[in-house]
Chains A and B, each alone.
Chain A
Amino acid sequence: MITEERESAAVAEPGIEQVVPGASARAHPLPRGSPLRAPYWMMTPSLALLALIVFLPILIAFYLSLTGLNQYTIGDWLHAPFVGLRHYRDTLLPQGAFASSLFNSVKASVAFSLLTTVLITPIGVGAALLFNQSLRGRAFFRAMMLIPYIIPTFVNAILWRLVFMNGTGLVDQLLGDFHLGSRETFWLIGPNALWAMVLADVWAAWPFVYLMSLAALQTIPGELYDAATIDGANGVRSFRHVTLPLMRSTLGLALVLSTINHFNNFTLPYVMFGISPPEQVNVLPLNIFVNSFVTFNFGLGAAMSVVALVIMLTPAVVYLRAARVGDETR
């Protein structure tokens, strides 16, 4: 580690200034200050850009949520009518005009993200336990397991839209051929839509849990199992008392991250169901998108995204704690 007490000559040779393209090397041909100082100026491009495109927009979104900005007033946004908390009243109070729409979306989002996470956990952990053992062709199997995860979400959504087509899709064909149900089962409209989306996402997202679990398993030293065997533990007991406790923190991180990712997933519902989805899959990101960029009610969209941000706060804090950023024993 380069620590602060380093001594070195701070004489820049000509011709080797621009280390980081985009960093203002011309303004600082020499490392600013003493060589004992960290070159904080090197962070300037990143910090400036992040302030401009992440921090500032969040503040502006808060402001927009208090205005009646729409497609007519966008050209003169600073003079858009200030409506105060009207959008929040409309969405959060029970009698508000958009209250049932927001409540329904929150319900759909929570159901979708929790159901998916719950379903992918056993599939992913099971695969990790399986492919951590010695197996002929293991490298091949491991590579194949990545496929659902690495195909783009928009491809996944299109594929499952076809699979769930009413009457002609793979699912309805199989239901009909094996006499398990009606060939005319509707999946992309009506109450089944949530299950169609959950299934599509389970298939696409389970390798996430698998990868995280496998990484955790690989950090467990084999000696621990030898010791457990000597102490008389059988397979089940060494799983419960060695494997599980040592996987727990990584698995916890995987699960909370998975919940956050699914909650924020826009692409899957948008490509699978379009801009007028059945209410069961009208998840929060899709609802906000439609309000903002289809009906151009920017103020309302901003208010709803602030609500989404507040809902994400709890899982976000859990995630940031689970990621143990301050932990230097990486």
Chain B
Amino acid sequence: MTLAVADRPIRSTRRLARHSAGSAGRYVAALAYLAFVLLPIVYMVLVSLQDSVTAGTVVVPRSLHWQTFAEMWQTVDLGLYLRNSLLIAILTGLCASIIALGAAYVIARFRFRFRNAFRVSLLATHTVPGVLLLLPLFVIYVVIQHALQVRIVGSYFGVVFTYMTFALPFAIWLLSVYVASLPAEIEEQALVDGADRLGVLRYVTFPLAVPGLVVTFIFSFLLAWNDVLFASVLTSPATRTIGVGLQNYVAENTLPLWNQLMAASIVSAVPAVILFMIVQRWIVTGLAGGSLKG
């Protein structure tokens, strides 16, 4: 299942022979795809630069209204939403990748009886509708809150803990694929040389697995960053994340501030875009184990 999208040219005689003939046609098609992709993005940027009166009703701004990017921080507490999202996503990424490591190592390196059943169930969790898990978890949290007088719904802990429902199975799967791709011979050599299992893990496997841990962290971060369903129920105004908070630009004002909403949307998409570009090579492995979207 490890299918990396490496950007290496595969040159065969067939391709070289047909290189010049179809070249122009290929360019037309490539540019058509580019236009298809960029058109909505360009529209989003244009609207973000419109003034509040015409925003969203025209295509080309009357004048470039850069102030939108300054004004949007005042309309709703965008800074708070971004900070909350950042904190929750980082905690989710850390918890998921660290907790997953042990299980990922065992299923990558050992054959045991329920191994495949476990791996299948990791993928199966992805097909469970999120609301099916959110509902009983919410009820459990409320019951615990009543019984112990603690706060779970609305706390960072409650959100991060709940995000493990989808981040952890995904992290175990991704990390196990990565560990399986590491050569076991180095570990075997270390064992032959007299190191014990934990020493091997600490000084051989763990350093080698660091890139995989980073990839897993980023994917888990993105899962948390993109969530709206769980956050809309489990966050309070103080812990509101960006995915839920953005809607306040339309909800709290009689006049929807489309320019500010678009500007804030662009800002909230930037971390996701940057992180995705870093893990580009790993996206396909992530996709097969349950997609990042949907």
Contacts and interface: CB of A to CB of B under 8 A. Distances in A.
Interface of A: 1-4, 6, 8-13, 16-17, 19-23, 31, 35, 38-40, 42-47, 49-50, 53-54, 56-58, 60-61, 64, 69, 74-75, 77, 126-127, 130-135, 138-139, 141-155, 158-160, 162-163, 165, 168-170, 173, 203-205, 208, 211-212, 214-216, 218-219, 222-223, 225-226, 229, 235, 238, 250, 253-254, 257-258, 260-262, 264-267, 270-271, 284-285, 288-289, 292-293, 298, 301-302, 305-306, 308-309, 312, 315-316, 319-320, 323-327, 330
B64 to A, nearest CB: 19
B277 to A, nearest CB: 7
A1 B226 CA distance: 37
Contact of A8 (B100, B119, B195): B195
Interface of B: 1-7, 9-15, 18-19, 22-23, 26-27, 29-30, 33-34, 36-38, 40-41, 43-44, 47, 56-59, 98-103, 105-107, 109-112, 116, 119-120, 123-140, 142-143, 146, 161-162, 164-165, 168-169, 172, 177, 180, 184, 187-188, 191-192, 194-199, 201-203, 206, 225-229, 232-233, 242-243, 246-247, 258, 261-262, 265-266, 268-269, 272-273, 276-277, 280, 283-284, 287-291, 293-294
Contact of A152 (B98, B100, B201, B226): B226
A19 B106 contact: no
Given A261-B293, A264-B294, A147 B273 contact: yes
B161 A53 contact: yes
A104 to B, nearest CB: 17
B99 A2 contact: no
A301 B12 CA distance: 56
Given A8-B197, A57-B132, A222-B13, 12 more contacts: A8-B192, A42-B106, A75-B142, A155-B269, A173-B59, A257-B287, A266-B131, A266-B229, A298-B135, A308-B131, A324-B1, A330-B2
Contact of B283 (A57, A211, A219, A309): A211
B194 A2 contact: no
A151 B243 CA distance: 12
Nearest to B205: A19
Given A46-B103, A154-B228, A301-B135, A218 B6 contact: yes
B32 to A, nearest CB: 10
A287 to B, nearest CB: 10
A289 B284 CA distance: 30
A138 B127 CA distance: 34
Given A2-B187, A11-B196, A261-B293, A159 B229 contact: no
A211 B5 contact: yes
Contacts of B262: 158-159, 162
A11 B177 CA distance: 29
A320 to B, nearest CB: 5
A312 B140 contact: no
Nearest to B85: A152
Given A60-B139, A152-B243, A292 B131 contact: yes
A63 B253 CA distance: 41
Secondary structure at the A interface, as helix, strand, loop or mixed, is: helix
Nearest to A10: B196
Contact of B293 (A47, A153, A229): A153
B110 A4 contact: yes
A325 B123 contact: yes
Contacts of A74: 139, 142-143
Contacts of B116: 325-326
Contact of A138 (B4, B7, B109, B130): B7
A46 B172 contact: yes
Given A57-B133, A154-B246, A212-B284, A170 B198 contact: no
Contacts of A23: 102
Given A4-B110, A216-B3, A309-B129, A151 B269 contact: yes
A35 B1 CA distance: 30
Contacts of B290: 257
A9 B106 CA distance: 19
A50 B119 CA distance: 13
Nearest to A37: B110
B15 A133 contact: yes
A204 B293 contact: yes
Among all A-B residue pairs, the 9 with the closest Cβ atoms: A261-B294, A222-B12, A42-B102, A46-B103, A215-B3, A38-B110, A60-B136, A305-B132, A150-B276
